[in-house]
Each structure stands twice: as structure tokens, then as C-alpha cells.
Amino acid sequence: MASSSRLINTYDVFVSFRGEDTRNNFTGFLFQALCRKGIHAFKDDEDLKKGESIAPELLQAIQGSRLFLTVFSKNYASSIWCLRELAEICNCVETSPRRVIPIFYDVDPSDVRKQSGFYEKAFARHEERFREDKEKTEEVQRWRQALTQVANLSGWDIRNKAQFAEIEQIVQNLLIILGPNTLNLPNDDLVGMESRVEELENLLCLGLVNEVRAVGISGMGGIGKTTLARALYERISHQYDFHGFIDDVSKIYRDSSSLGIQKQLLSQSLKEKNLEICNALEGTCLVWTRLHNVKALVVLDNVEDVEQLKMFTGNRNTMLRECLGGGSRIIIISRDEHVLRTHGVDDVYQVQPLNKENAVELFCRSAFKVNYILSEYEKLAYEVLSHAEGHPLAIEVIGSSLFGRNVSQWRSALGRLKDNKRRNIMDVLRVSFNQLDEIDREIFLDIACFLSDYDEKYAIEVLNFRGFYPEYGIQVLIDKSLITIKYGSICMHRLLRDLGRCIVREKSPKEPIKWSRLWDYQDLYNVMLENQESENLEAIVVKSNSLMINEAIMRADALSKIKHLKLLKLENVKFSGSLNNLSNELGYLTWKQYPFQCLPPSFQPDKLVELVIGGNNIQRLWEGTKPLHNLKRLDLSHSKNLVEMPDVESAVNLEMLDLEGCIQLRIINPSIGLLRKLTFLNLKNCINLHCKRLKYLPDLPSRTDLPSELYYLPDLPFNLIRDEANAGIMIYNCRELVDRDRCTSMSISWMIQIAQANHQCRCFPFDKMSPNFESIIPGSEIPRWFNSEHVSTDNSIIIDASPVAHENYWMGVVCCVIFQIREITSPREILLYSDVIPVDVRKDLAMDDSDHMWLFYLTQQEFIHQCNYRGIPNIDCLKIKFKIGDMLYFRDLMVESEEMEDKVYPEKEQWQMDESVVLLEVKKYGYRWVSEQDLEQSNSIMMHGGNLVTRKRKFLAIDGNK
């Protein structure tokens, strides 16, 4: 009889036995042992209701069991029910890959096999009873065949043996046969789980049989922490003397304190459903006495506070691991990694979102009930997946809600989804938010509304200005898996970002004037249209889509009525009218398309930390002097009509001043000479600040772009080489350089000095960029300083690292490439660059069809990173592509970034910017491995004095563009 899929996973073991012979001795002890080991066995006197016909339930139990035990006793063959069970067991074994194991309790196996002795007498009675019934007679023959078939199998003959020892061996053998217990796993729905289970299993170090090890599982709500723990639990629990999975520790603790948790642990270990414990002290004694010599597996789900773990044993100073025997393992699940670390787990497994492949698979199963996306839904499906960002709960909930809907209904549902997130998803995510202190909630909301993807240091600065003490709060959010830090930037899952924005809106969803933060263009428009005073609004960060058609123009005067505005960042937002006032509480003001000639006269910028303002209208910031003692960054770049630089004498903390593209600016305010903290000064394309020939570079800020028309390359001032993250030198497009030999030699000299500073200061962590050196200058020959010269055949260069692959003396590699610009198809300027090697090819350089030299330097760290990124196990060679076909192409040298994860790039990828294409030809190249000896020679020969090993490296950029 074919069994249903539901019944296949009902029981681990079905035990067929003659109750009168063994229920109160052998089989009674056997069932207890099976229960202790977590083996789910069918037992007819407990699982069947009295008064009901036994046959149908027995048949279902047999069909729903994975393994069969037959306990042959003297009177087994006398029971018709036992024989019918045995016949059905044989049918199941013949039609499915299951096993039956015989146990010979008090009979000789040959008596069972040949139906002799007691079994002969029993069958004589059966045959006599049914001799007039042909059908029954045939059934008796099937019973004989079943007995012979099973008795011939390998099993246990326990006659005259110690029953407890034999039972222990039987149970251990069953555990091996059964293997991982998968009864409770929804196997069809577990996507991407196998690799995660293996990773978690590796952290448990199951091979360390004498240690008690605790591992935590952390991650955002709904990410699959419990599912992962359950999968591993079912996989390995059979290896332990005791195993228990305690659900929702936090709820048990709230409802019943530590006593409730003790009861859960002990009831699972002792297999007693109605365990009575009077107090926590009694519970502590029981936990210790029952488990301290036991190899146990304990899973504690949803732990919110370390106190719940301290009090687990009823004693604040006693940890659970101290109560368990050698080889035990504890898995603790919490959204808060800090709880796990504080408790002292040995390791923490962070559950990540599903990758693209697994996310698609899970969504298809939920939305289509197949393993592929139906063609007409493909675009909409990927829109859903983009929104869910690999979050399993979101994928399942949204996918299930879309199942069976047509395309039109999908579009409607997606529109609703963007505006109103599914309540059950938000409720799960909000649990972690509700656990935050008030000040940490504010940090979360700021990140959700506008600081996600910002540099961590910048975000901390903004949050500090807001008064939120972010250094601690940021770590709290990380521990609770509400944010992550990737490549130095704060990242927040889109669903969490949506949660934060929903929280800001929830009290007055239709009245954005009452919100504390604005981030949406339409909401800002509505606030400006109302033109009312706002007491709550503190931050506006709005970026309009530059491609928007019929973009509305807002009333600027409404900004004057926002009294407590501390943060204002506007991009591609159009205003008209007049601006009479701005909040004097502003600390950050960014308005790149500022429509007025100056800031409001009444505005007092004494709290400003950052001012980024520009546009075609602004002529000056203000009249006279303003208090600027908190100002760190002043960016007036591309203010084409700016005629007057502000007096910055009071800006004693100013670190950055950017005046690039201020083409009407003729005079630099002399107050700039008083700025002792200035580390970045950009005067690029300030064409009316004439500066053609510099004999030397003065003590400039750490990052300086010089104006146009430079045709003499000066000596490098040694105080430029310090520990700024953007330290280095870049020289681009100085077509007017007349002394090319000097330019080349000075470039190499500068490069070696930068390399020496990097080597000696050792102040750059692995995840930060080391000092850059780049130059694109006129030149047609590889300098003799390079070890070798190679001809390029496919517009690429190949760096062979085999000579240094097993050496430690090299610091980095300097490369020199000779190329020629052949043609440019557009008169517009082109800028192509990557994070590692920026290359700036502009119109004025491209019009010069002579040969050019590209010099760049890769540190050892960067070179190895590039090899590892490409999956090169050994640094034998690195191929640097210049182009694909006739396109300028630097894709091969881009640093790995989050945006590149899970994306499939074609083998030959073309990048085109502004429909401009540069056609070039790489002629030859050379490179040299930089060693400590090179640095020593540089110190004695190339350098002209001064101490290079200073505490601060700086950045110099020279650009010859007008």
C-alpha cells in the first residue's frame, strides 16, 4: 500500500512486540532509552485512543515510520495483530528503502525462521482456526513467509544477556542507521541552507570531544537564524546523550523568570512533561546533577538579554556550559551580537541575506510554485527581489501574496508594497528597534532616513552634531544587526530603512510638516506648499531625480519657517521666490543649485560644520565677517559667478576649502594664510588666478589642486608626505610642460618618496587606500630605471610576479606605460577612473596626438589584493587591461565593492560615458619591483634633505586643464 508523503515522516521507529510478554520489562526499558536519545518511537498503548479499532491506526503508524524493530518473544506468533503488523512491515520494506531489525528476546532465531517450538504450536492453532477460509489460509502463509524473511536478517539475540547493556547497543546502532533527524524539517522550503549548516557546524568544532563549546547565531529579524539552528539541530542531535531546543527564551523568562527556563531544559532532558520544580535553587541542583556528566546539545532561541543566560541555571555566577559534560555544544540565537559576546561564546555566526540565485529560487517557489520565473512576470519578479534584498521572510511573504495573481494585479500589488510594507514583515523587524534606548532609536532613524551609505566617519560627525553620542550607538546597531559597516560606509538593509521611515511617518502619515525628518521630494514639495511653521522638522535631505519631467518649483520662503532645522541637503531641487531667513541651528548646509546671489543676511552660521553651496547665481556668501569657528569644510566649487571669496579668518577649524571652477574669482582672501588646520585646497580651473611657473611648492595643505597653465614641474616639499587617507600625488594633462626629462625624473622621484613614506609610517590599515601616485604626462620612452621593456600586442600589460612571489623584500611595483591617443569622437571632456588607478583623459590632452607616459604605483598590499580578488591563488601574474576593442577600459583594476556582488558581468564589457569614446594604442610598457634598497637609495640620492618619516602624509594633484 502506497503511503502518503505526510505519513513518511511521522515516526523514527515502529516497534512490533507482544505486550503480554515484554511490555513491563524489555520493551518498556527500550522505549525509555529511545525517548532519552530523542528517537520518536510509536507505542500503541499511548498513541492510540481506547475503544477505537486498532487496525487502521496501526497500519498508518507502520507506513509513517522510518525503521522497524520486531521483538520476537515466545508468544509473539500467537498474536494475530503481531503477525499482521509483521506482514505489513515486510510490505513496506519491499516497496521502500527502509529496514527491519529483529530482536530475539527469549526464543531461538531458528524457531522463528522455521516456525518450530512455540511458533509451530501457534501456527497449528491458526491453521486449524482458518482451514475453512481460503483467504485467511493464504494470509497465514504470508505470515510464515514474513517470519522467515525477518528472522534471516541480522539482528540481536539477547537471550541470557544483560538487557540494559543490550538496549544501549541497540539504541546506539539505531542512531547510526537513522542519522540526522529530519522529521520536522520542511525540506522543500529550505533554500541555500546546506552551505550555511556546514559553516555553522565547522564553528562548533564537533571533533573536540572533551570541550564544551558555545556558538552564537546573530542576524536581523526574519533572516533565518532559527531555521538554520533547527536544521543543524536535526542534523547532529542524534550524536548526543541529551538534546533540547528551547524556543523563545525571552518570552519564557518574561513569563516565568529563570525557573521557567529551567523547567523547559529539565523537562526535555528528563522526558517528563509535568515536571514540578519549587524554586530556582532546586532547579539549579537538578540541572547540575542531571547534566554535568552528559554530552548534551542545547539550543536557546531568541535570547534578548545576557541576564537571561546568567540566570539560566538559577545562579548568576554559574554558566550553563559549566553544568554540561565534555563534548557538549550550546547554540544561542540572538539578534544582538553584543549579548552573545558578553556571555562569552566561542564564536558568532552572522546570518547573511540570500544570494541572488537562492533568492530567485525561494521566490519562485512562493510566487509560482515552480523553480523558474514565468516569462511574462520576469521584470516584476526582479523588482520584488531588488526590494527584498535577499531577506527570506520578505521574499516568502511577498511571493505568497502574489501567487495566482495576473500581471496587472502584480503591478498594483508592487505599487502598494512600495507605499505600505507588509505588516507581518515590519512587525518582525520592529522587535529590534523597540529594544533600543531612545537615543539609539534616533541614530537608527537618522541612518534610515538619510545617512545610509555615507562614510562612517562622516556619519559619526553628523550624529555627534545632532547630540546622539554615536560611537556607542553605532556599535549597538551593529550588534543588533540593524546596520553593517562595509568598506568604511554605513549600510542598512532596504527593509530596515523602510521600517525607519515608516516609524517617522506613523504618527501623522498625511502631514509631513509634523515629521522630524524629510527625505522624499514630494513630501518636501507639500511642506513648502503649505508654507507653515514647523516645530518638529530637524533634517531635510532630498535628492531629486535629474531626469524628472515637469519638475515642480518650490517656494523658498517656506524654509524660513522651519525654526529648528539642523541639517539641510538639497540636490536637483528647484526653488523660486525669496529666502529671508535660515535656521541658525544649521550645522550642515548643502545646496549645489543655490538660486540666490547670497545667503540671507540674518543667517548666523556659527554652528555650521559644513557648507557646500554653489550655482550660477551666487556671487558672495555674505557681507563682512561671520562667526565660523565650527566650520570644517567650505565648498564653493563651480560657482561660476562668485567674485568674492569670504573672509575665513574666524574659521580656525577649517580643514577643506574647494574653489574649483570659480572662473570669476581673481583674488584669494589673505585670511587663508591664517588657517592652520587646512589640509585640502582646490583652486583647479580658477583661470583668473594666473600661475604658470612654480619654482618650488610652498607649505601647502595636504591635498592641493593647482591652477592651469603650469609648464614647469617643481620640487616636492617633504612636508606633503604624511598620513592622510588620500595622501599621494597625481599629475594629469600638463601639456605645457616644457622640461619633459625633468618631469619624468621628478615623477619617479616623487613616487619613490611616497613609497618610502608608506613603508616607514605603516599607518594605513588594510581596508584603507595607501598613498596614490599617478601621472599621465608627455613621454615616449621607458626610463632606464625600469628593469625591462615589453611590447604590448593587445593593448594590455602583464606584470609577472614570479620573481617575487616567494620573497618578502619587495614593497610594491612601479609601472610605466607608453600610449598614444589616436582619436576622440566627442569634443566633450572624458573622465574614466577606478578606485585604484584613476586615469584622467581630457580634451586638451586627447588633442595632443603625441605619445604619453602613464606612471602608477601599486603597493604590495594592493597587488596581492588584486590577485586575490580575481581568484588567483598565487601571485604569478596580473594582467591589466587598458581597453576592450577600441574603448578606454580600466574595469580590471577596480576595487571590489558591494555594488558588484552577485552581478554577472560579460567577459568583454564596454563602458561609455557621455557617448564619448577615446581611441588609443598601447605601445610598450615596463615595470620595476620596488625594494627596501630602492628606498634607501632614494633617501640618499634623490632626496635633497628633510625628514620623510613624518606623522602626516598629504595629497598633491596637479592638473593642466583650463
**Domain range annotation of the chain:** 5-178, 187-350, 356-420, 434-502, 504-726, 754-959
Is residue 515 classed as helix, strand or coil in its secondary structure? coil
Q: What fold is seen in the domain 5-178?
A: Rossmann fold (3.40.50)
Cβ of 144: how many Cβ atoms within 10 Å? Answer: 17
Report if pTM > 0.75. no
Is residue 574 classed as helix, strand or coil in its secondary structure? coil
**What is the total residue count of the chain?**
962
Terminal-residue alpha carbon distance, the chain: 88
Q: Are 308 and 253 in contact (CB under 8 A)?
A: yes
Phi-psi region of 957 (alpha: psi -120 to 50; beta: other; left: phi over 0): beta
Give the right CATH number for 187-350 from 3.90.550.10, 3.30.360.10, 3.20.10.10, 3.40.50.300.
Answer: 3.40.50.300
Buried-exposed string 636-646: b where 16+ CB fall within 10 A, e elsewhere = bbbbeebebbb
Is 434-502 in the same CATH topology as 187-350?
no
Measured CA to CA, the distance from residue 306 to residue 842 in angstroms comes to 59
Q: Are 531 and 558 in contact (CB under 8 A)?
A: yes
Measured CA to CA, the distance from residue 489 to residue 897 in angstroms comes to 11
Q: What is the pLDDT of residue 880?
A: 53
The DSSP letter of residue 732 is: E
Q: What is the pLDDT of residue 757?
A: 59
Buried-exposed string 350-371: b where 16+ CB fall within 10 A, e elsewhere = ebebbeeebbbbbbbbbbbeee
Q: CA of 493: how far to CAs of 336, 485, 498, 832, in Å?
A: 16, 12, 9, 30
Residue in the block written with cell 554653489: 614
Active site residue 307: no
Q: What is the pLDDT of residue 108?
A: 93
Those residues with Cβ within 8 angstroms of residue 53's Cβ, 6 or more apart along the chain or in another chain: none
Residues 211-248: pLDDT tens digits?
A: 999 999 999 888 889 999 999 998 888 888 888 899 88
Cβ of 956: how many Cβ atoms within 10 Å? Answer: 24
Residue in the block written with cell 535629474: 546
Residue in the block written with cell 577643506: 656
Q: Are 770 and 862 in contact (CB under 8 A)?
A: yes
Dig out the grid coordinates for 840 from the structure. Answer: 584622467
Q: If you write DSSP's letter for every residue of 303-365 in order, what string do you get?
A: ---HHHHHTTTS-TT--GGGGS-TT-EEEEE-S-HHHHHHHT-SEEEEPPPP-HHHHHHHHHH
Measured CA to CA, the distance from residue 339 to residue 337 in angstroms comes to 5
Closest of 417, 410, 481, 413 to residue 444, by C-alpha: 481
Buried-exposed string 766-776: b where 16+ CB fall within 10 A, e elsewhere = eeebbbbbbbb
- CATH no., domain 504-726: 3.80.10
- Residue 7: how many CA atoms within 13 Å on its side-chain side? 17
Closest of 418, 511, 496 to residue 451, by C-alpha: 496
Measured CA to CA, the distance from residue 810 to residue 50 in angstroms comes to 84
Residues 516-571: pLDDT tens digits?
A: 999 999 999 999 999 999 989 999 999 886 555 457 789 898 999 999 999 999 98
Of the residues 20, 85, 456, 781, only one is catalytic, namely 85
List of the chain residues with pLDDT < 50: 1-8, 46-54, 182-188, 314, 549, 694-698, 702-713, 716-728, 733, 737-738, 761-771, 825-847, 881-917, 939-962
Q: CA of 585: how far to CAs of 147, 241, 442, 517, 650, in Å?
A: 91, 65, 18, 15, 18
Measured CA to CA, the distance from residue 14 to residue 2 in angstroms comes to 17
Cβ of 733: how many Cβ atoms within 10 Å? Answer: 23
Those residues with Cβ within 8 angstroms of residue 364's Cβ, 6 or more apart along the chain or in another chain: 370, 371, 372, 373, 399
Q: What is the pLDDT of residue 755?
A: 63
Domain 434-502 sits in CATH 1.10.10: yes
Report CA 576 to chain centroid distance, whole Å. 43
Q: What is the pLDDT of residue 519?
A: 94
